[in-house]
Amino acid sequence: MFSEEVVRLRAEYQRKRQASNLFPPAGRPVLDSDILPGTPPSVRYWYGTDDTKPPEGYVRLFDLPGTLSGDILHLERGLPPAAQGYCEIEGDLIRPLDRCPDLPRPAEDDVEDVRDLVARRLPLVEVDPSRHFVKKGKYRSEVENLLACQGGSCPGEMLSEHLVRLLGRSADGMLVFEKLARPWPILARTSALAVYKT
């Protein structure tokens, strides 16, 4: 069971994230994002609704705590109205840009062939869309970690009520899970594959 402090911190983060106009639901749709290492590091966001057209907006935020850019990244403040179009926010300085930087090149998907592991270790489950969701297994470590969280077998015994239960495999080799009661906002919905993996 999580401590009251963990529950409080999660609730506070969720409240800030929902209120932030840096990304959905309160902000514009994000086409892509990436993290640039450096001193200080920065995060870039490209905005738009159609990835076949040039981005409608862009902002680069430098992680400088106690400043406008740091506060936006840490969800303490929202993007100001002056941050429309293409701009960088470094500290408290907002610099308009004449052009939008190119979108990052897509990261190569390093998916592994896990069909043998899935067929060997997971029982066949008849999928009921009202009770289950399915997804492709992409990494051997993913399947092994899911099994470890269930005591080493499937369906096994859940080691925590806060984990999604792996039930087995579908007839076409997909991983079968219990359907979530409600959709949770996840990083993958608002970030590029490289950011999600990081």
Mean pLDDT of the chain: 86
End-of-domain residue from the set 57, 90, 105? 105
Measured CA to CA, the distance from residue 68 to residue 80 in angstroms comes to 9
The answer, yes or no, to whether residue 1 has pLDDT greater than 60, is no
Which of residues 26 and 185 earns the better pLDDT score?
Answer: 26
Nearest to 41 by CA among 20, 67, 60: 60
Residues 115 and 84 in one domain: no
Residues 90 and 112 in one domain: no
Measured CA to CA, the distance from residue 132 to residue 164 in angstroms comes to 11
Q: What is the mean predicted confidence (pLDDT) over 19-40? A: 91
**pTM for the full predicted model:** 0.59
Nearest to 54 by CA among 37, 74, 31, 75: 31
Q: Are strands 57-62 and 86-90 parallel, antiparallel or unpaired?
A: parallel
Q: How many domains does the chain divide into?
A: 2
End-of-domain residue from the set 105, 140, 158? 105
Residues 92 and 142 in one domain: no
The pLDDT tens digits of the residues spanning 91-116 come to 999 999 999 999 988 777 778 889 99
Rounded to 5, what percent of the chain is helix, strand, coil?
25, 20, 55
The answer, yes or no, to whether residue 131 has pLDDT greater than 80, is yes
Q: What is the pLDDT of residue 69?
A: 97
Residues 197 and 126 in one domain: yes
The pLDDT tens digits of the residues spanning 141-177 come to 989 998 988 888 888 887 777 778 889 999 999 999 8
The answer, yes or no, to whether residue 188 has pLDDT greater than 70, is no
Residues 66 and 32 in one domain: yes
> What does DSSP assign to residue 77?
S
pLDDT band at residue 190, thresholds of 50, 70 and 90?
Answer: low
Q: Which three-class secondary structure state does DSSP give residue 146?
A: helix
Residues 91 and 153 in one domain: no
